[in-house]
Chain A
Amino acid sequence: MTSVSLYWRIFGLNAVVLGGATALLLWAPVTVSVPVLLTEAVILVGGLGVMLVANAALLRIGLAPLDRVTRLMTTVDLLRPGQRLPVRGGGEVAELVSTFNSMLERLEGERVASSARAILAQEGERRRIAQELHDEVGQSMTAVLLALKRAADEASQPLRGELQQAQEITRESLDEVRRLVRRLRPGVLDDLGLVSAVTSLATEFATHTGLRVLRRFAPDLPALDHEAELVIYRVAQEGLTNAARHAEARCVEVSLRGADGCVVLEVADDGRGIGAAHEGAGLRGMRERALLIGATLDIASPDETSAPPSGTRIRLTVPTAARKQS
């Protein structure tokens, strides 16, 4: 064992300082008068000062790795994995740093796993509710609507008026159910696939926000599993929401393309961009979803992009092959 424990290291440092002082007192030609003279007192106090400074400096060097650990502990962001401390030297401090690193590793893994569980549970629940609203409530209300229409046609006034009113109420509720279903679940994604779903998203945003949305979708995108498609869809949705709501953008381009072993989604707007310091819940949600499928999310701020349309550029790179985690 070449490593020295922290306890012995601190003890050793103190022993060196105290031993030095004692040796000085023993062999140096000095005496302390009784009562003490002013010059002697000054020398003694000065010696004490030197001892303390030396002790402080030695302790600082010995404990610096602990400071680094504390600093990383307070700033670490589990949504940006891969932040680690360098392990230098030996002994307990190095061991602490490497244990801390592996704890980060484990926390990041658990964070991904638990948010994956939460997101999947949420999406699954939404899907189930939407399905039931669509298949059961919606269909029954359609049947009611048709029955009311038939009854209204056969009834005479004033009953007919009443029935027609009931028809209108049913129609409105049915529209409401349909809106609910649409908000709960991107049905287009399940039924018609990613390109249709993102197209629909783009036209919807163009219609409701006045934003000019350009679409650029490469033909023959590599196949993705359902989970990955859902993440791409949600990131596109969040990116468009961001462009419409916060960026004061006039034009936004959504593109999907395949690049060796990856599918790349880009949402680029010409707005004022988002400061790196200000990452809202939306962007954190995007990061969380990206981690879920082992994808990387890059958000470029205005000063980083050199091209004239500054704005924000969100790029999600989803690996298609050899995805092991889920």
Chain B
Amino acid sequence: MNHQDTHDDHRPDTTIRILLADDHALVRRGVRLILDREPDLEVVAEAGDGAEAIAMARTHDVDLAVLDIAMPRLTGLQAARELTALKPGLRILMLTMHDNEQYLFQALKAGAGGYVLKSVADRDLVAACRAAMRDEPFLYPGAVTALIRNYLDRVRHGEEAPEQLLTPREEEVLKLVAEGHSSKEIAELLFISVKTVQRHRENLLHKLGLRDRLELTRYAIRAGLVEP
């Protein structure tokens, strides 16, 4: 495939060019093979640390950067910050071992649009790449649970305006998510499909104002989950 640069961010028919940064060569190779098998994804550059990732982003035309957080020289978070400043149109996705919301919020603040755990990389990474290109934040389930719990807690104590727009079904899902049930468990409890649960989850985040990267960051700052 020949892709001439059109400097257009939304090119549904062309390949998404990916910069991949991870200090572990075996992981990099594995991720690359997974991504390259998709017709619309192509890894065009690889880097072993954050500084190299920035150098690669300068010399290569890339649409999406997939960054590990724990890397020598410059961490993924530092690299994300620099890449955001360097190439505002570039989408950034974090691929990491850390399932801690603090890393997530810092990543969002640094300009990342998505956050994928390595333990579900085989399942979620491709979908996360596409979501990042659509400008939708991709969060791991634990983060969604934590966010919703925190949100409900704030509503209960009057620190957040309560949301009246939820349908009864959405409220059911909201409660179950807050209790820490997985999509699969919720689907079994409510006799609906996992896909439907996932759609409900997405709608929920949207209605609570937590669907967009900037909204999410703003919420995290307001709730004191991350420093401004």
Which residues of A approach B to under 8 Å, CB–CB? 134-135, 138-140, 142-143, 145-150, 153, 167, 171, 174-175, 178, 181-182, 187-188, 191-192, 195-197, 199-200, 203, 206-207, 212, 215, 217, 219
Chain A nearest CB: distance from B133 CB in Å? 21
Complex Cα distance, B123 from A149, in Å, reads 8
Q: Would you list 25 pairs from A and B whose C-beta atoms are within 8 A, ordered by A residue?
A: A135-B24, A139-B26, A142-B119, A143-B24, A143-B26, A143-B29, A145-B121, A145-B122, A146-B121, A149-B34, A149-B122, A150-B33, A167-B122, A178-B98, A178-B99, A182-B99, A182-B100, A192-B106, A195-B227, A200-B102, A203-B225, A207-B146, A212-B157, A217-B224, A219-B227
- CB neighbours of A197 from chain B (8 A): 102
Contact of B101 with A200 in the complex, beta carbons under 8 Å: yes
Taking the complex as formed, is B103 at the interface, i.e. its CB lies under 8 A from any CB of chain A? yes
Complex Cα distance, B123 from A200, in Å, reads 27
Chain B nearest CB: distance from A129 CB in Å? 15
Closest residue to A146 on the B side, CB-wise? B30
Contact of A196 with B106 in the complex, beta carbons under 8 Å: yes
- CB neighbours of B9 from chain A (8 A): none
Closest residue to B34 on the A side, CB-wise? A146
Taking the complex as formed, is B79 at the interface, i.e. its CB lies under 8 A from any CB of chain A? no
Check A134/B101 contact, CB under 8 A, given A146-B121, A215-B224: no
Chain B nearest CB: distance from A54 CB in Å? 75
Complex Cα distance, B24 from A97, in Å, reads 63
Complex Cα distance, B224 from A200, in Å, reads 11
- CB neighbours of B34 from chain A (8 A): 146, 149-150
Contact of B102 with A178 in the complex, beta carbons under 8 Å: no
B114-157 interface mask toward A, CB cutoff 8 Å, 1 = contact, 0 = none? 00001111110000000000000000000000100110010001
Contact of A134 with B97 in the complex, beta carbons under 8 Å: yes
Chain B nearest CB: distance from A194 CB in Å? 11
Interchain CB contact (< 8 A) of B100 among A147, A153, A200, A206: A200
The dominant DSSP class at the B interface is helix
Chain A nearest CB: distance from B49 CB in Å? 13
Which residues of B approach A to under 8 Å, CB–CB? 24, 26-27, 29-31, 33-34, 37, 69-70, 75, 77, 97-103, 106, 118-123, 146, 149-150, 153, 157, 224-227
Complex Cα distance, B23 from A138, in Å, reads 13
Check A203/B101 contact, CB under 8 A, given A139-B27, A142-B27: yes
Complex Cα distance, B98 from A174, in Å, reads 11
- CB neighbours of A182 from chain B (8 A): 99-100
Check A207/B118 contact, CB under 8 A, given A134-B97, A150-B34: no
Closest residue to B117 on the A side, CB-wise? A178
Chain B nearest CB: distance from A123 CB in Å? 19
Chain B nearest CB: distance from A220 CB in Å? 10
Chain A nearest CB: distance from B156 CB in Å? 9
Contact of B153 with A212 in the complex, beta carbons under 8 Å: yes
Having A146-B30, A150-B34, one finds 20 other A-B pairs with CB under 8 Å, namely A140-B24, A142-B97, A142-B118, A143-B26, A146-B31, A146-B33, A146-B121, A167-B122, A175-B119, A178-B97, A178-B99, A188-B100, A192-B103, A192-B106, A196-B106, A199-B226, A200-B101, A203-B146, A212-B157, A215-B224
Closest residue to B227 on the A side, CB-wise? A195
- CB neighbours of B120 from chain A (8 A): 171
Check A142/B30 contact, CB under 8 A, given A148-B122, A196-B106, A199-B224: yes
- CB neighbours of A146 from chain B (8 A): 27, 30-31, 33-34, 121-122
Closest residue to A177 on the B side, CB-wise? B97
- CB neighbours of A140 from chain B (8 A): 24, 26
Closest residue to A143 on the B side, CB-wise? B26
Contact of A206 with B103 in the complex, beta carbons under 8 Å: no
Complex Cα distance, B120 from A207, in Å, reads 22
- CB neighbours of B119 from chain A (8 A): 142, 145, 171, 174-175, 178
Closest residue to B70 on the A side, CB-wise? A134
Closest residue to B178 on the A side, CB-wise? A207
Closest residue to A153 on the B side, CB-wise? B37
Chain A nearest CB: distance from B142 CB in Å? 10
Check A191/B103 contact, CB under 8 A, given A174-B119, A207-B149: yes
Contact of A192 with B153 in the complex, beta carbons under 8 Å: no
Scoring A139, A148, A153, A206 by chain B CB atoms within 10 A of each residue's CB, the highest score goes to A139
Complex Cα distance, B226 from A196, in Å, reads 7
Check A143/B27 contact, CB under 8 A, given A149-B34, A178-B99, A207-B146: yes
- CB neighbours of B153 from chain A (8 A): 206, 212
Complex Cα distance, B121 from A207, in Å, reads 25
Contact of A138 with B100 in the complex, beta carbons under 8 Å: no
Complex Cα distance, B220 from A215, in Å, reads 14
Chain A nearest CB: distance from B159 CB in Å? 11
Contact of A188 with B102 in the complex, beta carbons under 8 Å: yes
Chain B nearest CB: distance from A60 CB in Å? 64
Closest residue to B149 on the A side, CB-wise? A207
